[in-house]
Amino acid sequence: MQKSIQLKKRPVGTPTLEDFNQVDVAIPEPSEGEVLVRTVYISVDPYLRGRMNEGKSYVPPFQLNDVISSGVVGQVETSKSEHFSEGDVVIGTLGWQEYNLANEKTIRKIDHTQAPASAYLSILGMTGLTAYFGLLDIGKPQAGEMVVVSGAAGAVGSVVGQLAKIKGARVVGIVGSDEKANLIKNKFGFDEAINYKTENVGDALAKVCPNGIDVYFENVGGEIGDAVFPLLNNFARIPVCGAISAYNKSSADIGPRVQGYLIKTSSLMQGFTVGNYAPRFKEGADALAEWLKEGKLTYEETITEGFDHTIDAFLDLFKGANVGKAIVKVSDIQQ
Amino acid sequence: MQKSIQLKKRPVGTPTLEDFNQVDVAIPEPSEGEVLVRTVYISVDPYLRGRMNEGKSYVPPFQLNDVISSGVVGQVETSKSEHFSEGDVVIGTLGWQEYNLANEKTIRKIDHTQAPASAYLSILGMTGLTAYFGLLDIGKPQAGEMVVVSGAAGAVGSVVGQLAKIKGARVVGIVGSDEKANLIKNKFGFDEAINYKTENVGDALAKVCPNGIDVYFENVGGEIGDAVFPLLNNFARIPVCGAISAYNKSSADIGPRVQGYLIKTSSLMQGFTVGNYAPRFKEGADALAEWLKEGKLTYEETITEGFDHTIDAFLDLFKGANVGKAIVKVSDIQQ
């Protein structure tokens, strides 16, 4: 038997332990063209909260009493595919279980000798690609421009700031603790950091962005976003990646309407999801790997040990507790 | 002496007669390189409201006790420019006066034998170009897509709807009276019309857009915009041209935040002003003139007679009273 995490009921507001069931299920047997994958790392991500609601979004909702799934790095235990051998380290969207069956077409091998296997769930995976395409394709920062990033110590935000620096922009990060403020300045090279819990974000932004804001990478929404709009420069760009402040609201998310700000400044605001860029993933992954190798990019992970803490690691995302990419380590890679 | 309209004080909320002064001033004499222009038509536009506030916008604010200015068609009375002769019909941004001095570089001749002179302030002028670039450059409607236009009986909105039809889209217009609903369906060829004063806009849109909305041309903002966001399709485009519902608000304009909608649908929202497209004005004007000649475009004007009614014509814009482009006729073109 193995452990498996199912969605027990649809969360109302912030998810709690009671919304999930951890159950024992049989370890399945692969059929022709399938492999059995032992879970090594599970990626826990804020966007999964949206899939716990009913109704349409860019990915279909999780079904009740069905296993939760997300990005997983694992190792092939048994292969009935000619493309995979026992011991291969692979990545794919798989269930929150200790073992998963995977069709050979839905996983790919990764080279964990080039970068740590967990990096393929963060800077070299969807997280890094989200930062890459959102910032560079929508935000288009130019040398000397002012880029503001909310959720700046988070998995995506910390990469966004570094990419903006690579492009020669000045970068201000908004975070929720002094510890994170120090981290983004000292480790990720942000020029300035604002702690929204102790500072008035509008006043602080006006001070560190005396010439206005050219790019706002939106991870958070709510009142932090509200504070940015009055400071936009003409032709500003706002990639809208997340609105974590609103994910757990069961009431309406109300604030100043943006139309007037967008008209005054001819600014652009564009929602996106990394999946839109699937045809260009190789371009992004190659660029990120190159910058990582050159030492121009670094990353942070919050690794929670043990499958039994998977739900906790997910719930922690909404407490502002973690830094960088949140990952659960379930087992070791066997050499 | 001649009449001139000045901004007396900055309006709070909806402008009133008391915000303006109509005074008598001398008729000036042109210097070398200047012409004296007798006013024929004055364009009155909602965006001028924004220029009556203090603070930065895409055009500088009007100064107190200074003449208001906007698009004007006039006829040259006296010329000290080798490029203009007495009797030439010209267009430019000029003061709300019976006569204006104009530098030869700030006006251009129009051919009022090809189209009525007033059309150069509406469908062949900034209004038509605003619709052209906003819809085609940002909205990018495709054949078979669903386009929704607010302020649909207005100067810009009525052109937007016709351009969307030329591109093969289905078009729904939102208006404020049954008379306007009939007008946009019968004269401008919209497929459907919604009267926001008698119908629930969200319900009505859901009914006439059962497959969702691909392009929303925003002229109005406020609750009408709010009703559109939940119906956006993936990769929807929202050119943000105006927010007339908010122009006269002295309190904050509050409503549902848009970030969640934009993320869910990967939609784009972009503010613009026609001036952004100055290098492409000729392309737009040529296309509009061609469609007008072919009978694919038509237009409506609300012409107010007499300089003394200029302020009234401007104030009427905020009462939802006018249809099509609002123009004041001040004098006749002399043959």
User: How are strands ordered across the β-sheet holding B232-240?
Assistant: A192-195, A170-175, A146-150, A213-217, A232-240, A268-271, B268-271, B232-240, B213-217, B146-150, B170-175, B192-195
Instruction: Give the CATH number of the domain where residue B132 resides.
Output: 3.40.50.720
Residue A257, in any domain of the structure: yes
Percent of chain B with pLDDT strictly greater than 70: 97
Whole-number pLDDT of residue A294: 93
Residues from chain A that touch B266, judged by Cβ atoms under 8 A, are: 58, 270-273, 276
Q: B53 and B72, same structural domain? A: yes
- As a three-state string, the secondary structure of A251-277 is CCCEEECCHHHHHHHCCEEEECCHHHH
How far is the C-alpha of B324 from the C-alpha of B146, rounded, in Å? 23
Q: A269 and A173, same structural domain? A: yes
Nearest to B96, CA basis, from B41, B57, B178: B41
Residue B53's identity, in one-letter code, is: N
Residue B242 has pLDDT above 80, yes or no: yes
Is B257–A259 a contact, with Cβ atoms under 8 angstroms apart?
A: no
Whole-number pLDDT of residue A55: 74
Element (H, E) at A69: strand A69-79
Q: A153 and A97, same structural domain? A: no
- For helices A126-133 and A281-293, the axis angle rounded to 10 degrees is 100
Q: What is the mean pLDDT of residues B54-66?
A: 81
How far is the C-alpha of A129 from the C-alpha of A169, rounded, in Å? 19
- Which residue shows structure tokens 């105006």? B242
| B1 vs A: CB within 8 A | no
Band of the pLDDT at A129, cuts 50, 70, 90?
Answer: very high
Whole-number pLDDT of residue B247: 66
Q: A163 and A88, same structural domain? A: no
Cβ-based neighbours of B137, under 8 Å, separated by 6 or more: B272, B277
**Best interface-test mutation with B: which of A226, A244, A263, A265 has the largest number of B CBs within 10 A?**
A263
Residue B244 has pLDDT above 90, yes or no: no
CA distance, residue B51 to nearest chain A CA (Å): 11
How far is the C-alpha of B10 from the C-alpha of B19, rounded, in Å? 7
Q: What is the mean pLDDT of residues B184-199?
A: 97
Q: A152 and A258, same structural domain? A: yes
How far is the C-alpha of A261 from the C-alpha of B218, rounded, in Å? 13
Residues from chain B that touch A265, judged by Cβ atoms under 8 A, are: 58, 271
Q: A134 and A113, same structural domain? A: no
Q: Please tell me the least confidently modeled range out of A302-311, B36-45, B169-178, B312-321.
A: B312-321
Q: What is the mean pLDDT of residues A269-287?
A: 93
Q: Alpha carbon of A65 to those of A5, A52, A71, B278: distances in Å?
A: 9, 11, 19, 58
**Best interface-test mutation with A: which of B237, B258, B261 has the largest number of A CBs within 10 A?**
B258
Residue B249 has pLDDT above 70, yes or no: no
Whole-number pLDDT of residue B282: 86
**Cβ–Cβ under 8 Å, residues A29 and A322:** no
Q: A168 and A271, same structural domain? A: yes
Residues from chain B that touch A228, judged by Cβ atoms under 8 A, are: none
Whole-number pLDDT of residue B245: 72
Whole-number pLDDT of residue A242: 87
**Cβ–Cβ under 8 Å, residues B287 and B133:** no
Band of the pLDDT at A249, cuts 50, 70, 90?
Answer: low
How far is the C-alpha of B323 from the C-alpha of B158, rounded, in Å? 9
Whole-number pLDDT of residue A105: 93
Tens of pLDDT, residue by residue over A164-181, are 999 999 999 999 999 999
Instruction: Give the CATH number of the domain where residue A11 resides.
Output: 3.90.180.10
Residue A299 has pLDDT above 70, yes or no: yes
Cβ-based neighbours of B237, under 8 Å, separated by 6 or more: B138, B139, B140, B214, B215, B216, B267, B268, B270
What is the pLDDT of chain B when averaged over all its residues?
93
Q: B271 and B147, same structural domain? A: yes
DSSP of B123-154: TTSHHHHHHHHIIIIII---TT-EEEEESTTB
Q: Alpha carbon of A149 to those of A131, A172, A183, A195, A240: distances in Å?
A: 11, 6, 14, 12, 11
Residue B118's identity, in one-letter code, is: S
* Residue that finishes a domain, picked among B276, B292, B317: B276
Band of the pLDDT at A201, cuts 50, 70, 90?
Answer: very high
**Cβ–Cβ under 8 Å, residues A255 and B254:** yes
The residue of chain A with its CA nearest to that of B220 is A259
Band of the pLDDT at B250, cuts 50, 70, 90?
Answer: low
The residue of chain A with its CA nearest to that of B246 is A260
ipTM of the complex: 0.85
Q: B258 and B176, same structural domain? A: yes
Whole-number pLDDT of residue A247: 66
Percent of chain A with pLDDT strictly greater than 90: 85
Tens of pLDDT, residue by residue over B284-301, are 989 999 999 899 999 989
Nearest to A135, CA basis, from A113, A111, A161, A171: A161
CB within 8 Å of chain A, chain B residues 217-256: 218, 221-222, 225, 234, 240-243, 246, 252-256
Q: Alpha carbon of B215 to those of A261, B229, B284: distances in Å?
A: 20, 11, 20
Band of the pLDDT at A313, cuts 50, 70, 90?
Answer: very high
CB within 8 Å of chain A, chain B residues 26-55: 50
Q: What is the mean pLDDT of residues B124-137?
A: 96
Q: Is B9 exposed, middle or buried (0-12, 13-18, 19+ CB in 10 A)?
A: middle
Residue B286, in any domain of the structure: no
Q: What is the mean pLDDT of residues B54-63?
A: 77
**Best interface-test mutation with A: which of B263, B265, B270 has the largest number of A CBs within 10 A?**
B263
Q: What is the mean pLDDT of residues A266-278?
A: 95
Cβ-based neighbours of B222, under 8 Å, separated by 6 or more: A257, B243, B245, B246, B253, B255
Tens of pLDDT, residue by residue over B208-224, are 999 999 999 999 999 99
Q: A265 and A142, same structural domain? A: yes
How far is the C-alpha of A160 from the C-alpha of A134, rounded, in Å? 8
CB-nearest to A253 from B256, B262, B266 is B256
| B208 vs A: CB within 8 A | no
Residue A231, in any domain of the structure: yes
Residue B295, in any domain of the structure: no
CA distance, residue B109 to nearest chain A CA (Å): 29
The DSSP call for residue A154 is: B
For residue B147, how far is the Cα from the chain centroid? Answer: 19
How far is the C-alpha of A52 from the C-alpha of A41, rounded, in Å? 21
Whole-number pLDDT of residue A56: 62
* Token representation of residue B53: 């506030």
Band of the pLDDT at A111, cuts 50, 70, 90?
Answer: confident
How far is the C-alpha of B334 from the C-alpha of A19, rounded, in Å? 80
Tens of pLDDT, residue by residue over A30-76, are 999 999 999 999 999 988 998 998 876 667 899 999 999 999 999 99
Q: Alpha carbon of A218 to those of A274, A277, B214: distances in Å?
A: 14, 18, 23
| B216 vs A: CB within 8 A | no
Residue A223, in any domain of the structure: yes
Whole-number pLDDT of residue B60: 80
CB within 8 Å of chain B, chain A residues 274-333: 276
Q: What is the mean pLDDT of residues B37-65?
A: 88
How far is the C-alpha of B123 from the C-alpha of B161, rounded, in Å? 13
Domain hosting A230: range is 126-276
Nearest to A43, CA basis, from A330, A244, A332: A330
Band of the pLDDT at B181, cuts 50, 70, 90?
Answer: very high
Band of the pLDDT at B55, cuts 50, 70, 90?
Answer: confident
Residue A335, in any domain of the structure: no
Residue B58 has pLDDT above 70, yes or no: no
Band of the pLDDT at B7, cuts 50, 70, 90?
Answer: very high
Beta strand A34-43 with A20-25 is unpaired
The DSSP call for residue B19 is: G
Is B56–A264 a contact, with Cβ atoms under 8 angstroms apart?
A: yes
CA distance, residue B244 to nearest chain A CA (Å): 9
Is B253–A260 a contact, with Cβ atoms under 8 angstroms apart?
A: yes
Whole-number pLDDT of residue A187: 96
Q: B52 and B92, same structural domain? A: yes
Whole-number pLDDT of residue A115: 87
Is B262–A269 a contact, with Cβ atoms under 8 angstroms apart?
A: yes
Residues from chain B that touch A225, judged by Cβ atoms under 8 A, are: 257, 259
* Residue that finishes a domain, picked among B241, B260, B276: B276
Residue A270, in any domain of the structure: yes
Q: A135 and A94, same structural domain? A: no
Band of the pLDDT at A214, cuts 50, 70, 90?
Answer: very high
Tens of pLDDT, residue by residue over B11-32, are 998 999 999 999 999 999 999 9
The residue of chain B with its CA nearest to that of A264 is B57
Number of separate domains in chain A: 2
| B264 vs A: CB within 8 A | yes
Whole-number pLDDT of residue B253: 86
Residue A322 has pLDDT above 80, yes or no: no
Whole-number pLDDT of residue A54: 85
CA distance, residue A215 to nearest chain B CA (Å): 14
CA distance, residue B256 to nearest chain A CA (Å): 4
The DSSP call for residue B199 is: S
Tens of pLDDT, residue by residue over A2-33, are 999 999 999 998 999 999 999 999 999 999 99
How far is the C-alpha of B109 from the C-alpha of B186, rounded, in Å? 34
* Token representation of residue A138: 């929508």
Residue A307 has pLDDT above 80, yes or no: yes
* Token representation of residue B138: 């940002």
Residue A324, in any domain of the structure: yes
